[in-house]
Amino acid sequence: MSAFPRHFGKYLLLRPLAKGGMGEIYMAGLGQIGGFEKLCVIKKVLAEKADPSKAKRFLDEAKVVLRLSHSALVNTFDAGEVEGEFYIAMEMVEGKDLREVWNRCVRQRQRIPIEVALHVAREVARVLAYVHSYGDLKLVHRDIAPPNILLGYNGDVKLTDFGLARSVLKQEKTQPGVVFGRAAYLAPEQARGEEADGRTDVYTLAIVLWELLTGQQYLPISGLDPSAGLALVRHPKPTPPSIRAPWIAPELDQVVLRALAPDRQQRFQSAEEFRLALSDVIAKVAPRTDPARVVELMQAVFQDVIAKERAEREHLLKDVIPAFRASSSAPPAPAARKTPAQPSVAAEKPRSASQSKGPPARTVHATPKPPSPAEQDNQENDNGMRLPGVTPVPVAVDGRLARREAALRVLAELAAEDAEPTPAPVQARK
């Protein structure tokens, strides 16, 4: 597995969130300037799954969701391709999907309050009314189910995942008789391979509401073989939720049963009609229904998780992302440049004891003038190596010759420094 964070186009993939049959979902970071990073979610097609059919379906989803804008929809703000992988970028909702909320409540032996169930259903009906009537797209979600409904810690309810949606924008058409979706949340017409419409989404939303009200599965098909399960989905026998939850009011029973009518002609004919019916019954049986009830539930069942996730986000934004950007964008340290050794006019080899009486060497830092022929006979570099065009100096054979050579070097240094005649006392020294 590749290490995280890692670059993905203009995004940083921070960690994987989920993996499905066709794609992967990652928490990601967006932003090029320190302190302006924003966390988001990247959904992309698996490289090994990116066959033409699935790639078209993925692009169809991107075309649809990029056009939509609603407070109860997960906002999708970007789509593209990076090194042969298609992706869409979405807002990150701080919360959990409805399936995870349900499972958490079961583990804690806590029932989902009726106000929460009704608020979730009404909000999804509200956004479906927007989706179904958007322009001329004739858009149908076709996959209303708990995993695609998100509950925010702040009370938001958001619908996501249009991977199975149908609209006039979609290039990859469903083959006649092919069933897409989750078997337990299929409308009868879907199970029969018929064309879905807005009333199909009304039916599947009613299944979600029935399960939230009762705490049980509407169609228990998990233990059946596929053919028996599909037969049950195609020919359901609606049951009022009050059979499993006696506290459900008759008015609410009637609304749910109408939305669950197997014949779509008998259902609510639009999501907006369903929403209005829910609003009327909420006013009678659950007037406290509002986002605050969702917040109370989420705080109660995810109290420990909320604190950990908040700390993780702060760590990513303040430490991980800045450190990664700094390390990946810093230019490599330049290699140390070696400065060529410059010849020093006053450089000498170490003197022997017999040479210690001679005059000390004097270092000259002025810009050297072209050496005279006499200077060339005595000029060496710092390493005692002969410079180009310089005549080697004979090796001293006695102390007198060594002192004479030292005196000549001093004369040469003084001449190079100020170009004045050599002082007489130094010349007199033999």
- Domains along the chain with CATH numbers: 95-326 (1.10.510.10), 353-428 (no CATH)
In terms of Cβ atoms closer than 10 Å to its own Cβ (0-12, 13-18, 19+), residue 368 is: middle
The pLDDT assigned to 414 comes to 61
Pick the residue with more confidence: 38 or 55? 38
Q: How far apart are CA 158 and CA 235, in angstroms?
A: 30
Tell me: pLDDT of 266 over 50.
yes
Pick the residue with more confidence: 183 or 278? 278
Pick the residue with more confidence: 369 or 195? 195
Give the orientation angle of helix 198-214 with respect to helix 114-132, to 10 degrees: 170
pLDDT above 90 covers a percentage of the chain that reads 49
The pLDDT assigned to 220 comes to 87
- Alpha-carbon distances, residue 338 vs 71, 254, 290, 334 (angstroms): 63, 89, 73, 12
The catalytic residue among 143, 161, 197, 201 is: 143
pLDDT above 70 covers a percentage of the chain that reads 69
Tell me: pLDDT of 97 over 90.
yes
Q: Are 176 and 223 in contact (CB under 8 A)?
A: no
The pLDDT assigned to 163 comes to 67
The pLDDT assigned to 200 comes to 96
Q: How far apart are CA 60 and CA 76, in angstroms?
A: 13
The answer for residues whose C-beta is within 8 angstroms of residue 120's C-beta and 6 or more apart is: 98, 149, 151, 157, 208, 209, 212, 294
For 335-379, how does the pLDDT look when each residue is reduced to its tens digit (9 = 90+)? 555 555 444 444 444 444 444 444 444 444 444 445 544 444 444
Pick the residue with more confidence: 383 or 266? 266
The answer to whether 143 is a known catalytic residue is yes
Q: How far apart are CA 24 and CA 58, in angstroms?
A: 12
For 124-144, how does the pLDDT look when each residue is reduced to its tens digit (9 = 90+)? 999 999 999 998 888 899 899
- Alpha-carbon distances, residue 86 vs 11, 29, 43 (angstroms): 13, 17, 8
Q: Are 43 and 25 in contact (CB under 8 A)?
A: yes
3-state secondary structure labels for all residues of 173-222: CCCCCCCCCCHHHCCHHHHCCCCCCHHHHHHHHHHHHHHHHHCCCCCCCC
Q: In 10 A of CB 165, how many CB atoms?
A: 23
The pLDDT assigned to 326 comes to 83
What rounded mean pLDDT belongs to the chain?
A: 79
The pLDDT assigned to 331 comes to 55
Q: How far apart are CA 69 and CA 131, in angstroms?
A: 9
For 291-333, how does the pLDDT look when each residue is reduced to its tens digit (9 = 90+)? 999 999 999 999 999 999 999 999 998 889 888 888 876 555 5
For 209-259, how does the pLDDT look when each residue is reduced to its tens digit (9 = 90+)? 999 999 999 998 888 888 888 899 999 999 999 999 999 999 999 999 999
pLDDT interval class at 382 (50, 70, 90):
very low
The pLDDT assigned to 402 comes to 66
Tell me: pLDDT of 424 over 90.
no
Pick the residue with more confidence: 81 or 350? 81
Pick the residue with more confidence: 397 or 188? 188
